[in-house]
Amino acid sequence: MKLIKQSFDKNSSGFTTLMPQDKEDLWQLYNLIQKNDEIKLQTTRNVAKNATKGASKQERKNVVLTINVEDIDYAPEDEVMRIRGKTTVANEFVPIQSYHTAEIQLNKSITVIKTEWDEINYDIVVKSCSIESKAEIGAIVFEEGVAHLCLVTDNLTVLRNKIEKSIPKKRRGDNSSHDKGLVKFYDLIISTMMRNFNLDNLKVIILASPGFLSSNLLSEIKGFAQKNDDKTIFKNISKFVTANCSTGYLQGLEEVLKDENIRKNLADTQFAQEVIIFEKFQKLLNDDDETAWYGPKECERAIQEGAVKQLLITDTLFRNNDIELRKHFISLVEQVKQQGGEVYIFSSLHDSGNQLDQLTGIAVILKYSMDLYSDDEE
Amino acid sequence: MSKLSALAKLRSQKKSNEGNKSVDILNRLTGDSPTPISRESIPRKLIIKENKPEPEINEVKEIPTKSIPNDTPKRKLDIDYSLSVDTSLMVEAKVYHETQKRHKINPSLYRLITNELDIETVKKNFSKESPDDKIENAQKQAFNQNFKNLTVDEKPKEVKVKDQKKIDTSKISKIYSKPHKSFVVIGHVDAGKSTLMGRILLDLGIVDIKTLNKLIKESESIGKGSFALAWVMDQTSEERARGVTIDIVSTNFETSKTRFTAIDAPGHKDFVPQMINGVCQSDFALLIVDSITGEFESGFNSSGQTKEHTIIARNSGVEKLCVVVNKLDKENWSEHRFEFIVDTMKDYLINEIGYEESQIDFIPLSGLSGNNVIKRESIDDFNWYKGPSLIEYLEDIEISTSTTDEITKEPFNLVINDIIEATNEVQIIGKIISGSISNGDAIKILPLDQTLKITKLKNDGKTVEFGIKGEIVELSVNKKQLENLDDVVIGDIITNSTKVETVETFECELSLFNLTKPLLIGTPFILFRSNFNLPCKLTKIVSTNGRKRKHLISNQQAVVQITIDSNRLLPLCKFDDDPILGKVVIRKEGTTIGAGKITKLSDA
């Protein structure tokens, strides 16, 4: 994301002009823009061509609109984000208070006007505009007959394609159909990979499977490259990493990211951090020594006691349309930071964030054990 | 390095140090190799959507449309033609006048024209069958004839779909005189499962010495002489190169008393899904343990597969477990060692897994040398053993069998183990879980929910008329009946029962084993139902046994709601309706964490 212009008033109201550049930026915008914010952007609208003639002919016009946001839609698979709301400034073609749905386009600037910019909003802008190159990882998690091709960035896991193919089982005496099926399956994975992954842009491509399949796939990829004289693969062959996991379903990806060897390759991608801290939380919870808790009430009490070492919270809670609730969560985060605790904001588009989401979205790891069990039943 | 690769490496060290140079060479390649570009097209199957032509039904539909016009036009004919006759006569009259003027030919040649007369004749003519009517009537008649025949043909066909052919019970009892047993060979990696299977097949003469000699030569050539017997079972190049069984393979053999289906399962942790597939196809299990000091212990610790395999076997409904104490020749047939293993295993199986003492047996043997498998060598050190040899045990083992009466009344259920595509038919292989099936029956595949007709029924390569519970059969269906072959996958169910439903959400009684992480709401895991696995999520904890917490931990029992986290639905049935299809095992991150019985199917 590019930061174009920024201005804040004393009462922390103000505007920021940003230019999203990839799907990751769209996700950041999705987290940044809330209901009742105003956005100003160039968009297209169908306008009546000539009102005097009666028969209204529609014409598509490029207009700059300022919209009071009512609704935001984001589909990471399609890389499309739409914002719906009422216009607050009239212009030549569009009267005030008329509804408009604008699609956010990449490489077009958008101005976000908020009456109050809080810590989290500000963080998002700073983080998304940092010049550090973004790491995008390609991952192929597969087992015999099932393969998942996905792209992992700091904030998103996007499943690009799923392959399902039944492969005949091995039989005593005749394995030709099994071998043939397996070769076809590898071919299918490779051709799908070539279509969906831009190898030049990816930092690393993880091939993960149970057993030896992943190393077999790697040699198949090398074979494919030799056969077709594919220079993109040759150039990026060192990016391929094989890993072991127990299943060909997406859950396997999390297992891989915990693997020490793989982590070295990934450096410090946010997702890998999330996976590790969530793993730690689960382990503590299993030990049952009362140092890990989840649920808003329990976490609040822990924070009030100042006992929190690490706070795990998903971005879903900040996307809340209830301003008071959002403020409440932000104050919790602030408190933990003041107490010297660490705060991990999980992206709900990753699997671990999604899991945390279903555990009320907030969890804590304490410095010492504490009984926070609240008696009230749901 | 993962354990698996470590293992593979260890094994490959046994052979000569031929490094994998091809990779290095490839890495050095800059990409300017002169091979011409031959882009391989994506293999894509073209399946023409074709409905099965049903001429009978088409014609049935046509009856009303044909019979109605037959009546109405006739009445219309009178009116229509009286008009048209007028004009034609006028034309004729004109012509007549003209010709009379010119030629003055005998007027008697021409009839006197009055409307009345000719209309009468015309009417009469038209009251006869018109050529069109003739054709139509003939068709109708022919159709009626056919139709009569068709109804006779059609009726029993429809009945057949619902009502299966009655199976000759006398035939069943005849088959039962030589019982059929299927067993799976399980155990820790390198315990000698495949080798024992190879030994059985060799000593029974299923595999001849010639084949074995060839295998010995091949295995010795890469420095793995001891693998020759295992290679009888492990036949993919992958398995031979790595020296590990990867997938199950089933094999049929017969002794004078019994027919067997033996399934060799992989022992490695990564291939537990395949092993579960094997367990689901068998009546009882042989658990192989390595008796060599150190090896038994490593297979038996918490990360070894001996324990996980027994848990799975117990929870997949394996009622009899025979612990085969293998490689006892390496321990000099020590009775002491044997007793030690028996005691350890008994303690574990009875106290931790929940087997009854009557359900477990122990046999010492050596798969590689073959002692006590089928033959008994006279070894002084082994004189203490008075029990049966393995084959005697296998022949005598009693497994619960249903009576023929039960089988004919039960609903038919089959789990697909394999699908093979031939030129114009599809072969579906699976084990009959309950009930019976005969050639020509119509069957339903779930979750696809499509009815198919069986064109051929095979058992062990031989065409048979029917198959009954416990048998592994091969059904052939016409390829045209399936729109897309990829819609049917291994693990789908073929049934005629209404109790089996495809669901997205269900409730089950879950008992958990040792967990390293708690089971929270939203925790993903892999669910196994017989040989099928799918990613699932825990969505609701309905009730727990006592503990007042919002998540589940080790060794806890609970009723939970599970939702399938995939776009595919899962055919399931309640445990009370079918103990095999109603049972699930859950695994997470490569370890088995729990097993459950389905209590409620809900399509929420």
CA separation for the pair B293, B308 (Å, rounded): 21
Residues in chain A: 378
Q: Which of B352, B86, B51, B374 is nearest to B206 (CA)?
A: B374
Instruction: Please give the helix or strand (H or E) that residue B92 lies within, else none.
Output: helix B55-103
- B384 and B410 in a single domain? The answer is no
Burial of A194 (0-12, 13-18, 19+ CB in 10 A): middle
Examine the domain organization and report whether B260 and B157 are in the same domain: no
Percentage of the residues of chain B whose pLDDT score is greater than 70: 73
Q: Of B37, B40, B485, which has the smallest distance from its Cβ to A187's Cβ? A: B40
- Sheet with strand A204-209: strands edge to edge: A157-164, A146-152, A137-143, A204-209, A240-244
**A143 touching B (Cβ < 8 Å):** yes
Residue B102 has pLDDT above 60, yes or no: no
Q: Are residues B234 and B291 in the same domain?
A: yes
Quick: pLDDT tens for A21-58. Answer: 888 888 888 888 988 899 999 988 888 776 565 566 77
Which residues of chain A have a CB within 8 Å of the CB of B488? 166
Secondary element (H or E) of residue B255 = none
Q: Where in the sequence is the domain holding B212, given as residue range(s)? A: 180-396
Token pair in block for residue A70:
């009512």
Written as six digits, the tokens of A324 are 């008071």
Nearest chain A alpha carbon to B251: A172
More confident residue, A371 or B371: B371
Phi, psi torsion values for A42, nearest 5 degrees: -85, 135
Look at residue B23 and tell me if it is in a domain. no
Quick one: B124 and B193 in the same domain? no
φ and ψ at B90, to 5 degrees?
-60, -45
Is residue B48 predicted with pLDDT exceeding 60?
no
Q: Which fold has domain A274-366?
A: 60s Ribosomal Protein L30; Chain: A; (3.30.1330)
Do the Cβ atoms of A175 and B236 come within 8 Å?
yes
Higher pLDDT, A376 or B146: B146
Of B94 and B326, which is predicted with more confidence? B326
- Interchain proximity A285–B517, CB inside 8 Å: yes
Nearest CB to A172 within list B238, B249, B549: B249
The per-residue pLDDT for B77 is 47
In chain B, what is the greatest distance between 2 CA atoms, to the nearest angstrom?
138
Nearest CB to A229: which of B4, B35, B516?
A: B35
**Separation between Cα atoms, residue B446 and residue B532, nearest integer Å:** 13
pLDDT at B103 over 80: no
How many CB atoms sit inside 10 A of residue B339's CB?
14
Q: Residues B321, B208: one domain? A: yes
Do B196 and B284 reside in the same domain of the chain? yes
- What mean pLDDT is reported for chain A? 85
Q: In angstroms, what separates the C-alpha of B68 from chain A's closest C-alpha?
A: 51
Q: Which of A364-378, B237-251, B556-570 has the lowest mean pLDDT?
A: A364-378
Reference B244, options B5, B533, B13, B532; nearest CA is B5
What is the predicted pLDDT for the residue at B308? 87
Residues B338 and B370 in one domain: yes
What's the CATH superfamily of A2-128?
Answer: Pelota, domain A (2.30.30.870)
Rounded average pLDDT over B31-35: 44
- Average pLDDT, whole number, for chain B? 76
Residue after which a domain boundary falls, among B474, B495, B516:
B495
Q: Which two tokens stand for residue A49?
A: 């061509």
Same domain, B326 and B389: yes
Q: Say yes or no for a CB contact (<8 Å) between B523 and A355.
A: yes
Rounded to whole angstroms, the Cα distance separating B436 from B445 reads 16
B362 and B389 together in one domain: yes
Count up the domains in chain B and report the number.
Answer: 4
Structure token pair of residue B170: 């006398």
Same domain, B139 and B281: no
In a domain, B22, yes or no: no
Per-residue confidence band for A226, with pLDDT thresholds at 50, 70 and 90: very high
pLDDT grade, residue B580 (50/70/90)? confident
Contact yes or no for A282 and B518 at CB 8 A: yes
- Chain B residues close to A232, C-beta within 8 Å: none
Minimum CA–CA partner of B553 in chain A: A286
Count of Cβ atoms closer than 10 Å to residue B465 Cβ: 13
The pLDDT of A228-241, averaged and rounded, is: 89
Give percent of chain A above pLDDT 70. Answer: 93
Q: What token pair was written down for A32?
A: 């940044």
Tell me if B570 sits within 8 A of B533, measured CB to CB.
no
- Cα–Cα distances (Å) from A281 to A35, A307, A366, B136, in that order, read 33, 15, 10, 83
Backbone phi, psi, residue B258, to 5°: -140, 155
- Which of B495, B525, B543 delimits the end of a domain? B495
Please report whether residue B511 resides in a domain: yes
User: How far apart (Å, rounded) are the C-alpha atoms in residues A242 and A262?
Assistant: 8
CB contact at 8 A, A164 and B489: yes
- What's the CA gap between B443 and B453, in Å, rounded? 6
Domain check: are B225 and B332 in the same one?
A: yes
B268 to chain A: which residues are within 8 Å by CB?
211
**CATH 2.30.30.870-classified regions of chain A:** 2-128
The tens digit of pLDDT for each residue in B330-358 reads 888 899 999 999 999 999 999 888 889 99
Q: What contacts B370, CB < 8 A, 6 or more positions away? A: B199, B202, B203, B377
Bin A173: left if φ > 0, else alpha if -120 < ψ < 50, else beta. left
* CB-closest option in B26, B235, B515 to A170: B235
Q: Give the Cα separation of B12 and B470 in Å (integer).
A: 39
The fold of A137-267 is Nucleotidyltransferase; domain 5 (3.30.420)
> Is residue B89 in some structural domain?
yes
Last residue of a domain, one of B107, B130, B162: B162
Which stretches does DSSP call E strand in B227-271? 249-254, 259-264
B122 within domain boundaries: yes
pLDDT classification of B522: cutoffs 50, 70, 90: confident
Q: Where in chain A is the domain with CATH 3.30.1330.30?
A: 274-366
- End-to-end CA distance of chain B: give it in Å, rounded: 43
Cβ–Cβ under 8 Å, residues B584 and B533? no
Any B CB within 8 A of A168 CB? yes
Query: How many CB atoms are closer than 10 A to CB B494?
Result: 25
Distance CA A288, CA B236 (A): 46
Looking at the complex, report in whole angstroms how far the Cα of residue A73 sits from the nearest Cα belonging to chain B. 22
Tell me if A210 and B485 make a contact (CB, 8 A cut-off).
no
Provide the 10 A C-beta neighbour count for residue A359. 22
**What is the CATH classification number for the domain harbouring B305?**
3.40.50.300
Closest CB to B419: pick one of A166, A246, A295: A166
Are the C-beta atoms of residues B266 and B246 closer than 8 Å to each other? yes
Checking if the pLDDT of B69 tops 70, the result is no
Note whether B244 and B372 are same-domain residues.
yes
Question: In the predicted model, is pLDDT for residue A325 greater than 70?
Answer: yes
**Residues of chain B contacting A257 with CB distance shorter than 8 Å:** none
Hey, are the CB atoms on A212 and B517 less than 8 Å from each other? no
Select the residue of A170, A211, A222 nearest B249 (Cβ to Cβ).
A170
**Helix-, strand-, coil-residue percentages of chain A, each rounded to 5:** 35, 30, 35
**Minimal CA separation from B198 to chain A, in Å:** 11
Distance from CA of A176 to the nearest CA of B (A): 9
Asked whether residue B26 is assigned to any structural domain, the reply reads no
- B462 within a domain of the structure (yes/no): yes
